[in-house]
Structure formats: C-alpha cells, structure tokens
Structure 1
Amino acid sequence: MMTESPVEKPFRIFISACLAITLFAVMNLLVKLVTETQSVPQALFFRNAIGLIPVLFLIWRAGDWGLLKTTRPGGHFLRSFVGVTSMSCFFLSFALLPLADATAIHFAAPLILTALSVPLLKEHVGPHRWAAVIIGLVAVLFMIGPAGDGNLLGAMIALGAAVLSAFAMIAIRRLGTTEHSLTIVFYFTAYSTLFTGVAMLFAWTPLSLHAMLLLIGIGLTGGIGQVFLTYCYARAPAAYVSPFNYLAIVFAAGFDFLVWATVPDWRIALGSSVVIATGLYIVFREARKHQAAKMHTSLYALQPTQPTDEDKKDAA
C-alpha cells in the first residue's frame, strides 16, 4: 500500500505555519485598532506597500529576478483587483464586527471555492464534499442570523469578502498553470499598492504617531506572515498546512476578550465549529482524492504493456 511521502522538516513547517497565522492575527488586531481613527484605504495601502519588501526579499533569495517578468499582465490585474477588493471588505468588516465574528464568517471562502471550482475550473466535486459545502454554508447563514440580529451590514460585508476571496483563489489557480507563486504574489502586492494608493488619496485622514506605528505594524506583520506562509506551502502539502488557518479564530476570540472584553456570541461559537469541521473535511477529502490519483497512476505505470503486432514481428 502506497502512502504519501512524509513532510520534510515537519517541526519547522509547524513552527512556520503557527508564526504565519499568529502574525496575520496580530495584523487583523492592528487593522481593527487603526480603523477606529483612520480610513480603511490607509490600512490597505500600508499593508501592501510595506508588504512589497519581504516579497522582493524572497525573489532576491531565489536569485531569479526573471520572476518579475510575466506574459499574463491582464490575469494578474484581474486577480489583484478581485483580491484587493476582498481584502478591503475583510478590513472593513473588522471595523464593524468583533474579530471573531468577521474571522468565522470569512472561513466560508474555502467552501465557496469548492462550489465555484465546478463551473469555473471544471473540477469534479463528489457528494461527500457537496454535503460538507452545504452544511458549512448553512452554518455561515446561521452565524449571520436573521435581519436585525447583530450587525447585519458587517456580516454581509464579511461574507462578501469570503466570496471575493474564493474568486481570487480561482484566479490564482489559473495563473498557477504558467506563473511562479512568487510572480503571482509580487504582482498582487504591487497592483494592490497602486489601487489602494489611489483610493487613499480620496480617504486620507491625518496621522498621529500612534496611528503611524499601527499602520507600519500592519505592513510588517502582513508581509512577514506572507513569507512564512509561502515557505510552508512551498515545502509541504496543502492538506498539512491549511488546517493551521483555523487557529485564527482562537487568536481572534482571545484578542476580542483581552482588548474589548467581548465574548463570541453562541451563534458564532457553534457556527464556526461547524464551518471549521466542514472545511477540514473538504481538505482531507481533497488530499485523499489526490493520493488515490497518484496511486492509480503509479499502478498503471507498473503494469506490463501488451506487445504490439510490430513487437511480435521483431521478436520473430
């Protein structure tokens, strides 16, 4: 029986994944803090402008500045526009909702991606994964609650961020057929800096020293977190790395309690548990599907080929 090759340096991957999620969680906290006095476009600009530094560092470490070249500028532009719009909605949801609420609703993105992969990527999704998608999305609607229960606008913006994030991931998959991952990250960060820089001109608010430090912190934590996450996905299967993303809800709930003395509503606690469970189920079903495909390919390659008529003549 064949098994998937073990993850190389699993402890290093574990530490890197934990650091990445921790840094992103701190970034989300800083976004919520800074948007109490500053505009969302300002937070977005600093996240992307400062985030360019570690991306360029990774390209320098790779020793291949040719990664900056692309034959698909239009694809990068579209992916970046959708991605930065998703990020804008995500940041705005932090200003309207507790961190845990916004984070939990955003976990719908992998479920929506699975559903969209059928019409847009022509992928096959079996009944088990469809069931997980439906259950997970029902849990998301349960978290949002009926109109008037909680901040409906913030919840809908967070859900919009999840939908746009799924479309961005579809675009990344398509670009990934010809483009290096660092090329995709570079153009996303560069285009996003341009987009948010223009938007910031129309939403500028004066900066205090405290706000400036928060904005710099957003850029550093987001950029360095991206470095660690890129390292993880480059050296380990997605099925090993993806589950670490769900640590974000733990950090979000902890920050809500420590900074704002807020405890997640029972809808969020129950709904996020279901969404996480269905998301993990989809990840592991996907891993099993790929493993089965690899096994089938390997077994097929080991089968002896039947001699053709030409082979028989040559042998005679």
Structure 2
Amino acid sequence: MFSRSTDEAPSPLVGIALACIGYSLFAIQDAVVKWLVADYAVPQILFIRSVMIVGFSAFFIHRNRHPSILKSPHRSSVLLRAVLMLGAWLSYYSAARHLGLAEITTMYFSAPVITVVLSIFILRENVGPIRWLACIGGFIGVVLAADPAEAPSLIPAGMVFFAGFCWAWSTILVRLVSRTESTVNQMLATGVLFTVVCGAALPFVWKTPDLFGWTLMIGLGCISAAGQYILYEGFRYAPASTLAPIEYSGLIWAFLYGYLIWAEIPTLNVVAGAVLIVGSSLILIWWERRLVIMSRRRLTA
C-alpha cells in the first residue's frame, strides 16, 4: 500500500503518476461496463461491483485496524461524497443508453474544468495560469477528438453534465477528506451506500448472469477497487486542480482499449485531439516538476 512518512513533503509528481494509473484502470472499467450495459441494468452492475469494493475495503480496514469512519470529524463530507458518486454513476451509465460514445465523452470531460473552478472556492487552492491552460487545452483536445456529429438529446445530455458536476465535486471532497481519512475508509463508505441503494432496486431489474456475465462483473469489481484506491491515494500527493487535467489521459486509454478490444482505428481528428491532450498533460508535469525543484532550492538556500 502507498504511504509516506509524516515529515516527507508530498510530491505532485507522485500524485500525477498515481492518477494516470488510476484513470487507465477506470478506462478498462468503462469498457467492461459498456459491454455489460447492453444486457444488464445499471443498478445490477453497480451492486455487484460495489459488493466487491466493500469486501476489499473491509479486509484492509480489519487488517490494518483503521479507526471507524463513524468517528471521523468529516463523516458528513464522506457521506456527501458517496451520494455524489452514486448520482454520477447512475446518471452517466443511464445516459450511455441514449447517447453515442463521442457525445457522452465530450460532455463528461467538462468535469476537470468544474474541478478547477470548485478547487478555488472550496479548497482555496491557488490555480495559476499554467494549470488553467493545461485544463482548457485538454478540454479542447477532447472536443477535437470526440467530434460530435449532431446535437444530443436534451435529457440524456443533462444527465451527463450532472454526472460531470457530481464527479468534480466528489473529487474536491476526496482531496479534503484525504487529509484525515484513509483511502479504504472512504471506499467502504461509498461502497456501502451503493450496495444498499442498488440492492433495493434488484427485485425490479435483476437478470441472472451467465458465466461470462459473472466473470465480467466480478472482474469489474476488482478493477474498480484497484482504480479507486490508486486514484484516491494520488489526491494525497497533489492538489485537485493539478490532477484535473490528468483525467483527460483516460481518453487516450479509451482509444487504446477500443483498438485492442474492438479493433477501432482512431481518425485524424482523434489523433490530433490526443496530441493536444498529451501535450497539455506534459506541460503540466513540466510545470509541477519546476515548482518542486524551486521549492527544494528555497529550503536548501
């Protein structure tokens, strides 16, 4: 498990690296859900996924004897974050039934921009021009790569924007709560809420999976647990506004998995958008590395 000593300064570069790995796993998660949602209801998929995450979290909480989340001074923020995550997941994957991948990807990636804005007002983070440029540049790259062909339906589009807002707000809360709460405690709280709410819908939506369906759903739970843990750990090392543009790297992974699984070959506009997204992320990494070097020089001066 990732850890750092209390006297060691957090490194944004570590946070960026962890976020890149976490978002790559989320891209696999989205590919698996895309496969499953054609045959199974979203609450059923989320229920089995959440049961796996609860089991993973409970095991490590018991093993490492983490204090109960009920005793946390931030338990209300943890609960709010769980509610936001539930709203984001239900809205996003329900809208996926009605929108094309290009449309839903473009609209959902408004989330990093919302994260930067919320980080100013909620976390009081200092968002400089480089972070703003990286975030905006990444969003332009997403629009260029996705290239929506026609106007989307109003209600599903609103659901995607709502999901993006919920995800952005939950990202801010991860940064806030992670100052005092362990990652697995946060995962357990979210997983329990998902399990209870989605479990209540099972009598109305349940469809017994075949062997392949069970394999995908259990695998989804494992991938989601790993992705969440790694990403949330990343927020311990870097500000939310710094990691917001890194979320765009998930689009690159989506293109890669699309090619490997469905033999989808990116078009020229997709390649151009990917270059802009990667370039924005590289500029951000260069800037954060420069800040780290300057900070160390001040300490040793």
Q: Same fold (TM over 0.5)?
A: yes
Q: Percent identity at matched positions?
A: 27
For 1:148 and 1:120, how far apart are their aligned partners in 2? 35
1:172 maps onto 2:149 in alignment: no
> How far off is 1:277 after superposition?
3.0
For the pair shown, the structure with the greater C-alpha radius of gyration is 1
Deviation of residue 44 (structure 1)? 1.3
Q: Secondary structure at the match of 1:124?
A: coil
**Cα distance in 1 between the residues matched to 2:160 and 2:201:** 20
Aligned partner of 2:85 in structure 1 is: 83
Partner Cα distance (2:192, 2:286) in 1:
34
Distance across 2 between alignment mates of 1:286 and 1:178: 24
Q: Secondary structure at 2:257's aligned position in 1?
A: helix
Instruction: Report the equivalent of 2:134.
Output: 132
Q: List gaps (5 residues or longer) in structure 1.
A: 303-316
Distance 1:264 1:55, change over 3 A: same
Which AA in structure 2 matches 1:211? Answer: G
- Which SS does the other structure have where 1:121 is aligned? coil
Match of 1:305 in 2: none
Structure 1 residues 116 and 289: CA distance shift in structure 2, 3 A: farther
Q: Tell me, yes or no, if the aligned pair for 1:51 and 1:219 is still in contact at 8 Å.
A: yes
With over 3 angstroms needed to count, the CA separation of the structure-2 counterparts of 1:18 and 1:117, relative to structure 1, is closer
Q: How far apart in 2 are the matches of 1:34 and 1:43?
A: 8
Contact 1:21 1:225 in 2 (8 A): yes
Which residue number corresponds to residue 45 of structure 1? 47
Farther off after superposition, 270-279 or 181-190: 270-279
Q: Which ranges of structure 2 fall in alignment gaps of 5 or more residues? A: 1-7
Counterpart position of 1:270:
272
Partner of 1:74: 76
Q: Equivalents in 1 of 2:146, 2:153: separation in Å?
A: 8
**Aligned partners of 2:267, 2:158: CA distance in 1, in Å?**
17
Contact 2:174 2:232 in 1 (8 A): no
Name the TM-score, length of structure 2 as normaliser: 0.73
1:79-158 matched pairs, under 5 angstroms: 79-92=81-94, 95=97, 96-98=99-101, 106-143=108-145, 145=147, 148=150, 158=160
1:168/1:228 Cα in 2 relative to 1: closer, same or farther (>3 Å)?
Answer: closer
Give 1:21 deviation, angstroms: 5.4
* Cα pair 1:136 1:278 within 8 Å, conserved: yes
TM-score, scaled to structure 1: 0.70
The residue correspondences of 1:1-316 to structure 2 (distance < 5 A) are: 23-66=25-68, 69-92=71-94, 95=97, 96-98=99-101, 106-143=108-145, 145=147, 148=150, 158-229=160-231, 248-282=250-284, 284-286=286-288, 288-289=290-291, 292=294, 296=298, 298=299
Give the root-mean-square deviation of aligned CA atoms.
4.2
Find the aligned partners of 1:128 and 1:247 in 2 and give their Cα distance: 17
- Give the length in aligned residue pairs: 288
Q: Distance in 1 between matches of 2:159 and 2:134?
A: 23
Give the whole-Å Cα distance in 2 for the aligned partners of 1:244 and 1:118: 18
